[in-house]
Structure 1
Amino acid sequence: MKLQKTAIITGAGQGIGLAIAEKLAAQSVNLILNDLEESLVTEACKRISHVHGVSALAIPGDSSSEEVIDELIETAISNFGTVDIVVANSGITLFGAFLEYSRADFLEVTRVNQAGTFFLAQAASRVMKDQPNGGALLFTSSVTAHQSHENLAAYAMSKAALEMLAKNLVLELAPYKIRVNTIAPGATVTNRTVMDPDYEATWSKITPLGRPAAVQDIANAAAFLVSDEAKHITGQTLIIDGGWTSVSPSPYA
């Protein structure tokens, strides 16, 4: 009998995080979902449980806080007994020109994007190392970690750091059968990006495959990397951008 897995996903109230949650739920994975907005993550859990028949529990709050991280881990263990998959998807984008960028914005970006991911991965790994089958960690980076993008210096730096974190952790986590990988989405149509009426048309023109990604495109890649089908893949970053980083035209041109 195949054991049912448990996944923790942050930033799962909408967009890419929610799409990953729905993809894993369709594969009968139990879920602990986090989002800063309580109403979004609570509604997401209700809908996923109803549609897919899995357990989906909501833990709202700041995913970079020690208290929320502890609650995510403890909820997974107390309800399901294991932490098999962690998708550290939460992140913030604070645009700003480098020469005027504030210290407060810089520290907030690094706190959420880097520290939040680092310490969630650490807490999960402390559990996974004692599990016979280890586990899978997945970080959400960005194409801005690979190509420059105006007014995103701090954000891009934080995302590049996550890719190096995944690579570096291979040395320490592989002996425990813990895999760690990163996805780097490009332009993606989400609840947030559709607020720009020109977003989809602009990125369709400059993306070689002719359109920005749908959240399902990102979720399909994420689900593969945390699955047993990718059990010999670790320390890698998968760019999902329709070919944009190969040519990198600016959306502002």
Structure 2
Amino acid sequence: MKTFQNQVAIVTGAGQGIGLAICQQLAAQGASVVLNDIETSLAEDAAAAVRKEHGVCIPFGGDASNPAFIQEMVDEAVKQFGKLDIAVANAGITLFGDFFEYKPADFNKVMNVNLGGSFFLAQAATRQMKEQGSGGRVLFMSSVTGHQAHKNLAAYGMSKAALEMLAKTLVLELSPHQITVNAIAPGATATERTLNDPDYEATWSRITPMGKPATTEDIAHAALFLISPQAGHVTGQTLVVDGGWTSVSPSPY
């Protein structure tokens, strides 16, 4: 029996990177996956690749910060697969900017996507899980920037720290329904976006105790533990996956 056999999962922001790796591993372990990305074509291509290599996966393109869209996505998961067991709020944006010049529009966008999208996905998903009466799993995507200061990332780091507090707070709401809620805080990770920076891998390899940035698979492995049956008594926690960086915290600048 595969770990996630007969489980149904939604993963947002999963057209590439960490979200896609989570979808791949979930599908390979027997889950039926709804793969979301704001770019519909990217969601479709990613879902097709997951189906070809791993298992059951359908695309659902759209804005995962929009509560109405989030509800549509939950409804579609139930329509297609009959239930919802797992919600991974992976969608997020990073907008760098000097604190003294940071624009209200940028601040609001970061909060709307990183916090609002995660909050309302958790709300819509757990309403469904509560109705089903068979428990469930919610996972937020935090960051080491929610633990240690990074230059020009005040708003982003603030949003990620808030997600960890949201995971703790929701323990009170969700535990009576056997729904766990946790967070992952990745450190430096080699993704399509970060590898556009030619210095990224060398810089983070130098300052990470394990000698290299994480792969998307490293983060996905940790995520799958927290949403698995084996983590049924783990809730309100944040798992830092950073190769030891937060233990020493040298700046990349």
TM normalised by structure 2 equals: 0.97
Matching residue within 18, 25, 28 for 1:26: 28
* Structure 2: runs of 5 or more not aligned: none
Q: For the residues of structure 1 that align with 2:19 and 2:69, how far apart are their CA atoms? A: 17
Question: Aligned residue pairs: how many?
Answer: 251
Q: For the residues of structure 2 that align with 1:211 and 1:162, how far apart are their CA atoms? A: 26
Structure 1 runs (4+) greater than 3 angstroms displaced = none
What code does the residue aligned with 1:217 have? D
TM normalised by structure 1 equals: 0.97
Q: Secondary structure at the match of 2:76?
A: helix
- 1:37 and 2:39 are equivalent in the alignment: yes
Q: Secondary structure at the match of 1:234?
A: coil
Cα offset, 1:38, TM superposition: 1.4
What's the counterpart of residue 221 of structure 1? 222
What's the counterpart of residue 75 of structure 2? 74
Q: For the residues of structure 1 that align with 2:239 and 2:158, how far apart are their CA atoms? A: 17
Q: For the residues of structure 1 that align with 2:98 and 2:90, how far apart are their CA atoms? A: 25
Q: What does 1:1-253 align with in structure 2 at a 5 Å threshold? A: 4-54=6-56, 56-252=57-253
Q: For the residues of structure 2 that align with 1:89 and 1:53, how far apart are their CA atoms? A: 20
Q: Is the 8 A contact 2:32 2:55 kept in 1?
A: no
What code does the residue aligned with 2:161 have? A
Q: RMSD in angstroms over aligned alpha carbons?
A: 1.1
Cα offset, 1:71, TM superposition: 1.6
Q: Secondary structure at the match of 1:87?
A: strand
Q: For the residues of structure 2 that align with 1:173 and 1:189, how far apart are their CA atoms? A: 33
Q: Secondary structure at the match of 2:112?
A: helix
Percent of aligned pairs with the same amino acid? 62
Q: For the residues of structure 1 that align with 2:140 and 2:161, how far apart are their CA atoms? A: 11
Q: Is the 8 A contact 2:140 2:182 kept in 1?
A: yes
Q: Secondary structure at the match of 1:59?
A: strand
